[in-house]
Amino acid sequence: MIVIDQLSKIFKTASSELVAVDQLSLSIEKGEIFGVIGYSGAGKSTFIRLINRLEEPTSGRVEIEGELITGLSKNALRVKRQNIGMIFQHFNLLWSRTVSENIAFPLEIAGVSKEEIEKRVQELVDLVGLSGKETSYPSQLSGGQKQRVGIARALANRPKVLLCDEATSALDPETTDSILALLVDINKQLGLTIILITHEMHVIQKICHNVAVMEAGRIVEQGSVLDVFSHPKKNVTKKFVEQVMGKPDDEVAEDSFIATVAEGHVLKLQFIKENTNQALISEVAKKFKVDVNILQGNIKRTQEGAYGSLYVQMVGEEVTVQEAIQYIEQTSVEVEVITHD
């Protein structure tokens, strides 16, 4: 487990102070993928650099598996960092070294034998899907391939924690998805704890188990990805959720094509986890004498399951419609009547 307690970072100049991270506290479970999201200037990149002390905290503590990172001497920290891998937005590769040589670099620094280095490098090349590129230089690689080298290099010393600082923001959407899939695979295969910093909510949605939302150096909202996505509380969180879910439900309900439905009832169905896998609409149409028309919907998947909303028009006798609504509610799908005739 990673415990971060009252962590702060203040940058001082001759005339002012900038509080980049403000008394931030978090607990991250071993083996999870934990996302931290915030807009530019929220302090998230400073925060992740405080974890391995690439930035020295002004105050507070960081503990990883019972060891106080903020209390280590420089020599002890240098050894400990072998257990904390890190990948960066702009790859930070050594351009004069080949793929294999880039991956080998941290092993050389650690004093690993040449034979062990060759074996480990090949393992990592295979793991990140770069077989055949061992002798290529960074200038000969695509952005996604460069990031795969960065990931392999970060894993060279078999770390227990992997820090990802905007690791996909320089990549196109398709390449981003492939890198995210690789991180999920690494998390499952190696049991690695991953802390991922991003400003893109779809990255959080795709791979994270839990998320913390940062604003002005503080955590303003946190929880499981499913809970935060389905019930965002803070305005900044709602804006991030809109990135992947579109406009808020109250705006959708006011759309003319919904507000002017002349016949029947308009229902909002809120799906969470397993309920999204049920063929609920077809079941209702078969079981009850009602016509059900889908007006609008948005269902997304997370590591915990799927969630989203579906707006439907239901037409039929009032008694039958109410029976159909009660049937839906028994499945634990939340039902809200938006309009009715």
Q: Identify whether residues 232 and 277 lie together within a single domain.
A: no
Q: Identify whether residues 58 and 170 lie together within a single domain.
A: yes
- For residue 191, the number of C-alpha atoms closer than 13 Å in the C-beta half-sphere is 2
Q: What percent of the chain has pLDDT over 90?
A: 67
* CATH number, domain with residue 329: 3.30.70.260
Calculate the CA dihedral of residues 164, 169, 173, 177 and round it to 10 degrees. Answer: 0
Instruction: Tell which wins on pLDDT, 280 or 161.
Output: 161
Residue 282's pLDDT band (cuts 50, 70, 90): confident
Helices 99-109 and 114-127 cross at an angle (nearest 10°) of 130
Q: Identify whether residues 309 and 218 lie together within a single domain.
A: no
Q: Identify whether residues 270 and 210 lie together within a single domain.
A: no
Q: Is the pLDDT of residue 107 over 80?
A: yes
End position of a domain, from candidates 191, 209, 244 = 244
Q: Is the pLDDT of residue 318 over 60?
A: yes
Mean pLDDT, the chain, whole residue set: 89
**Per-residue pLDDT reduced to its tens digit, 211-238:** 999 999 999 999 999 888 888 999 999 9
Structural domains of the chain, count: 2
The DSSP bridge partners found for residue 38 are none
Q: Identify whether residues 210 and 264 lie together within a single domain.
A: no
Top mean-pLDDT range of 161-165, 282-286, 326-330: 161-165
Q: Identify whether residues 174 and 255 lie together within a single domain.
A: no
pLDDT for residue 254: 52
Which of 50-64, 71-85, 235-249, 324-338 is least confident?
235-249
End position of a domain, from candidates 227, 244, 261 = 244
Q: Identify whether residues 177 and 35 lie together within a single domain.
A: yes
Of 272, 274, 275, 212, the C-alpha closest to 34 is: 212
Instruction: Tell which wins on pLDDT, 271 or 337.
Output: 337
Domain region containing 263: 249-339
Residue 243's pLDDT band (cuts 50, 70, 90): confident
Q: Is the pLDDT of residue 248 over 60?
A: no
Q: Identify whether residues 126 and 259 lie together within a single domain.
A: no
Q: Identify whether residues 234 and 253 lie together within a single domain.
A: no
Amino acid identity for residue 313 in this structure: Q
- pTM > 0.85: yes or no: no
SS3 142: coil
Amino acid identity for residue 21 in this structure: V
End position of a domain, from candidates 209, 244, 279 = 244
| Helices within 191-313 (DSSP H only) | 201-207, 225-230, 235-245, 249-254, 256-259, 280-287
The DSSP bridge partners found for residue 267 are 312, 337
How do strand 33-37 and strand 193-198 relate by DSSP bridges? parallel
Q: Identify whether residues 233 and 253 lie together within a single domain.
A: no
Q: Is the pLDDT of residue 298 over 80?
A: no
Whether 100 and 124 have beta carbons less than 8 Å apart is answered as no
Whether 297 and 287 have beta carbons less than 8 Å apart is answered as no
Q: Identify whether residues 237 and 295 lie together within a single domain.
A: no
Q: What percent of the chain has pLDDT over 70?
A: 93
pLDDT for residue 264: 84
pLDDT for residue 250: 52
Helices 280-287 and 318-330 cross at an angle (nearest 10°) of 140
Q: Identify whether residues 58 and 121 lie together within a single domain.
A: yes
**Per-residue pLDDT reduced to its tens digit, 135-193:** 999 999 999 999 999 999 999 999 999 999 999 988 999 999 999 999 999 999 999 99
Residue 294 and residue 335: Cα distance in Å, rounded?
14
Of 114, 133, 137, the C-alpha closest to 125 is: 133
**Per-residue pLDDT reduced to its tens digit, 191-213:** 999 999 999 999 999 999 999 99
Amino acid identity for residue 228 in this structure: V
pLDDT for residue 268: 86
Residue 52's pLDDT band (cuts 50, 70, 90): very high
Using only C-alpha atoms, what is the Rg of the chain? 24
Q: Is the pLDDT of residue 32 over 90?
A: yes
Looking up tokens 């439905």 gives 261
pLDDT for residue 311: 86
* CATH number, domain with residue 146: 3.40.50.300
